[in-house]
Structure 1
Amino acid sequence: MKQYIILLVMLLSSFVAFPFQENSDNNELPSEVVKSIENRIEEGLTPSIALAIIDSTGIQYFNFGLTATKGKKVNENTIYEIGSISKAFTGILLAQQVLDEELQLEDKINDFLPHNIKIPTKGLKEITFGNLSDHTSGLPRMPDNFKPANPYNPYADYTVEQMYDFISNYKPIRAVGATYEYSNLAQGLLGHLLALNKNSNYEDLVIQTIAAPLGMMDTKITFTKKMLENLALGHAGGKQVENWDIPTLAGAGAIRSSTSDMSKFIAANLGYVKSPIAEAMELSHKVRHHKAGEMSVALGWHIKNGELGDVIWHNGGTGGYRAFSGFVKETGKGVVLLSNSTADIDDIGFHLLDPGTELIAFPSKKDAVEIPESTLERYVGLYELQPKFTITITKEGNQLFGQATGQDRFKIYPENDTTFYLTVVKAKITFQLKNDTVESLTLFQGGQEIKGKKIK
């Protein structure tokens, strides 16, 4: 124990030599970024955005907004859920166990599961640790045997036994390694197996392997008193929502952190600080395949070609939070963005790392036109876009709301009598009428057009 304490002190001292600037003038950011963030807060897309920029000169923090509608100002110690950025941590944990010769990337995971649990596969190839980490395992995005007691905290009571039951009986539709399919299930299973392999649990493994050596004292899954005092409350659709607890699939998205801690994590990935996991971090950055469209995939990380170099990144989202972290080795620059709402912030992170990436121009609710309540009333109803996927349109006063299956409701604003827009994401909804009767709606989002017939 004494040796461990001495090592920790030495590691923490390495951060003292790396320049930290506790607060920076927000005007030091590019003006278009400041305007974009301030507009999002003013429009009610998010209560706050906390940002850190890491480069060879040190770390700068830029903070906008409040922890809640009537909360306190956020700072670099404010706590957010980082969601799927946890997958980058899981990739590093995997890399470290590979370097410690405790397993191999090519090892079959069936050999590490309890003896009575086996995952069926399509074809002869079995799932390996590498497949779990790079999203080529053939496992689906999520298991379908969720029965949450609380739909606002949907993963809290999902058990290891349920996960084992699902993976044992799943009938894969594609061969292992054949294609990229983003899988929270695979990453959650990976975190579980890595913890089993060390006779530990995922949170302790993250703390012992990554957080403690890097001095990330507020990066945990279980809230401490201090973390709760500094918590930014999650929001969706302008309303406060519950935090998510993800015990079984923790490796996919359970971690909470701050920009102060996450900037240390990115600084270590860029090699600005010495750490015992430097080699594991380097291994986690190595490309494993190019099957994800325009992206390459490493161990947990995704890699995007940028004008100034490769952007190694991951984002995250839970029921009331969004997060982005990334870095470019060629420029030595890293970015962390944390927000306490479900509105997208990826564009800001990519723009700061790769200036050729445009910022999203979210429409303003101020641009909405006035239309009669009688016109709004006829759009109220249930629209089926796909089997088991619907959008419900409701009305309160002169405000229309949409709510997709399993998601929070959102406000929609009239552009004209039949076209409405969202402000939380870049999307539009148009209503189609025949003989003055509403027959369907069409959702326009991400270059797609999805039509839904009015069924009620």
Structure 2
Amino acid sequence: MTIQQGPASADAAGDTELAERMHARLGSRHPVVAVATVTSSGERTAALGTPLTSRFEIGSITKGVTGLLYMDAVERAEVTPATTLGELLPLGECPAAGVTLASLATHTSGLPRLAPSRDVVRRSWNLMRRGTNPYGDTLDELVVGARRATVRPARYPRYSNLGFELLGHAVASAAGTDYAALLRDRIADPLGLESFAVLSGSADLTESDLMGRNSRGKIMEAWTGEAIAPAGGIRSTIGDMGDLAAALLNGSAAGMLALEPAASMSSPAVKIGAAWITLESKGRIITWHNGGTGGFCAWMGLDREAHVGVVILSATAIPVDRYGFDLLAELSEPSLPE
């Protein structure tokens, strides 16, 4: 696996102008970062401090991909929005068994953020002190945790990693496969996203896989595991993320209805589809999702009307959302060069 965190400006790959633009904005806070833009002129990619072939953790942008898989399964009539978890996973008579897939996709299921765990304090402590992966559970262990989960009344969206873990595995179960295979068969292979993968453990890491750092510069263990895969487990190169953004803009990706708003979030102006968030920014309607793991931050945004997309992947756990929104706004402005 690759551990790189050196000077960015002297180690750029891909589109030089784009690399210089992002180095000027992100500077020393994000020494290992990659950027992709999609406009009517095509795709551009650049990387600072690492090759374009490096794979990053995309964190919760994975939820957006799981949203695509869910809506694709609805279109295939494998599930319906009213299908419950108990119909697809061995949850018995627990409260989570009655939760619908539609509520999971919009974070309105009432499930907690994480599955109940007897060692959550130990995992959190080890993450902070040692940088270890807190998400190494198997699917069987996830189901055990879900059986203990309390379901609260959902008056508004309540962000739930547990909910999206269960959603992805439930959709895979409906298709008679596992999540990794479903991702490959319905998203990665049709779109040619060769780097897309979810890893079951650290043994699956390759030389192209970056190791991220937290905001204090500490190297963090990779976030791998069967359970977390649908909620935050995808790794990808910047080129494949740019290709995914292009597919979402031209409508060639499976499950495109995931991008359509289905519920309001913190205010009527902020809405959510199947994971994908829609809001107005600088006079434009933006569809987006971000991601964060122990050592990575990521952001993908789409201006679907202008047919413009931006992806930023950083191997440092410092948010890049503001830079993504700013760059997307610039590219959406017709008077500015693409």
TM-score normalised to structure 2 length:
0.83
- Is 1:228 matched up with 2:212? no
Counterpart selection for 1:304 from 273, 276, 279: 279
Deviations 1:24-59 (A, max 9, x none): 223687x5x542222xx2xxx333111011111111
Give the Cα–Cα distance (whole angstroms) in 2 for the partners of residues 259 and 126 of structure 1: 38
How far is 1:99 from its partner? 0.6
The residue number in structure 2 matching 1:139 is: 111
The residue number in structure 2 matching 1:118 is: 93
How far is 1:300 from its partner? 1.4
Counterpart selection for 1:96 from 55, 58, 72: 72
Structure number having the greater strand percentage: 1
Deviations 1:269-302 (A, max 9, x none): 0007xx4x45x22x11111111333521001111
Q: Highest Rg: 1 or 2?
A: 1
The residue number in structure 1 matching 2:8 is: none
Structure 1 unaligned blocks of 5 or more = 1-21, 67-73, 357-456
Deviations 1:423-447 (A, max 9, x none): xxxxxxxxxxxxxxxxxxxxxxxxx
- CA 1:56/1:118 → structure 2, altered by over 3 Å: closer, same or farther? farther
The residue number in structure 2 matching 1:49 is: 33
Identity %: 30
Q: Which amino acid aligns with 2:224?
A: D
- Whether the aligned pair in 1 keeps the contact of 2:45 and 2:242 (CA below 8 Å) is no
- CA 1:227/1:247 → structure 2, altered by over 3 Å: closer, same or farther? closer
Give the Cα–Cα distance (whole angstroms) in 2 for the partners of residues 334 and 285 of structure 1: 14
Give the Cα–Cα distance (whole angstroms) in 1 for the partners of residues 105 and 133 of structure 2: 25
Deviations 1:242-271 (A, max 9, x none): 111131121100000011101110100000
Counterpart selection for 1:155 from 114, 122, 135: 135
- Is 1:130 matched up with 2:102? yes
User: 1:149-298 alignment to 2 at 5 Å?
Assistant: 151=127, 152-156=132-136, 158-175=137-154, 178-222=155-199, 228-236=206-214, 237-271=216-250, 275=252, 277-278=253-254, 280-281=255-256, 283-293=257-267, 294-298=269-273
Deviations 1:63-82 (A, max 9, x none): 22x2xxxxxxx233211001
Give the Cα–Cα distance (whole angstroms) in 1 for the partners of residues 101 and 204 of structure 2: 35
The residue number in structure 2 matching 1:18 is: none
Give the Cα–Cα distance (whole angstroms) in 1 for the partners of residues 139 and 222 of structure 2: 21
Q: Which amino acid aligns with 2:153?
A: R
Computed over aligned residues only, the root mean square deviation of the Cα atoms, in angstroms, reads 2.6
- CA 1:28/1:239 → structure 2, altered by over 3 Å: closer, same or farther? closer
- CA 1:323/1:27 → structure 2, altered by over 3 Å: closer, same or farther? closer
- CA 1:221/1:160 → structure 2, altered by over 3 Å: closer, same or farther? closer
* Matched positions, count: 308
The residue number in structure 1 matching 2:302 is: 327
- Whether the aligned pair in 1 keeps the contact of 2:303 and 2:328 (CA below 8 Å) is yes
Q: Which amino acid aligns with 1:195?
A: A
How far is 1:92 from its partner? 0.6
How far is 1:232 from its partner? 2.4
- CA 1:174/1:59 → structure 2, altered by over 3 Å: closer, same or farther? same
- Whether the aligned pair in 2 keeps the contact of 1:139 and 1:186 (CA below 8 Å) is yes
- Is 1:82 matched up with 2:51? no
How far is 1:96 from its partner? 0.8
- CA 1:350/1:200 → structure 2, altered by over 3 Å: closer, same or farther? same
- CA 1:89/1:146 → structure 2, altered by over 3 Å: closer, same or farther? farther
- Whether the aligned pair in 1 keeps the contact of 2:135 and 2:224 (CA below 8 Å) is yes
- CA 1:226/1:286 → structure 2, altered by over 3 Å: closer, same or farther? same
The residue number in structure 2 matching 1:9 is: none
Give the Cα–Cα distance (whole angstroms) in 2 for the partners of residues 88 and 119 of structure 1: 27
Deviations 1:353-373 (A, max 9, x none): 2359xxxxxxxxxxxxxxxxx
Give the Cα–Cα distance (whole angstroms) in 2 for the partners of residues 28 and 230 of structure 1: 20
- CA 1:27/1:320 → structure 2, altered by over 3 Å: closer, same or farther? closer
- Whether the aligned pair in 2 keeps the contact of 1:153 and 1:245 (CA below 8 Å) is yes
- Whether the aligned pair in 2 keeps the contact of 1:145 and 1:162 (CA below 8 Å) is no
- Whether the aligned pair in 1 keeps the contact of 2:213 and 2:316 (CA below 8 Å) is yes
- CA 1:326/1:146 → structure 2, altered by over 3 Å: closer, same or farther? farther
Give the Cα–Cα distance (whole angstroms) in 2 for the partners of residues 169 and 111 of structure 1: 18
Deviation beyond 6 Å, 4+ runs, structure 1: 223-227
- Whether the aligned pair in 1 keeps the contact of 2:169 and 2:230 (CA below 8 Å) is yes
- CA 1:195/1:86 → structure 2, altered by over 3 Å: closer, same or farther? same
Q: Which amino acid aligns with 2:156?
A: T
- Is 1:23 matched up with 2:14? yes
How far is 1:327 from its partner? 0.7
Give the Cα–Cα distance (whole angstroms) in 2 for the partners of residues 341 and 154 of structure 1: 17
Structure 2 unaligned blocks of 5 or more = 1-12, 332-338
How far is 1:146 from its partner? 5.4
- Whether the aligned pair in 1 keeps the contact of 2:112 and 2:149 (CA below 8 Å) is no
How far is 1:126 from its partner? 4.4
User: 1:331-350 alignment to 2 at 5 Å?
Assistant: 331-350=306-325
Structure number having the greater helix percentage: 2
How far is 1:85 from its partner? 0.6
User: 1:352-431 alignment to 2 at 5 Å?
Assistant: 352-355=327-330
- Whether the aligned pair in 2 keeps the contact of 1:235 and 1:341 (CA below 8 Å) is yes
Give the Cα–Cα distance (whole angstroms) in 1 for the partners of residues 79 and 260 of structure 2: 18
Q: Which amino acid aligns with 1:155?
A: Y
Q: Secondary structure at the match of 1:352?
A: helix
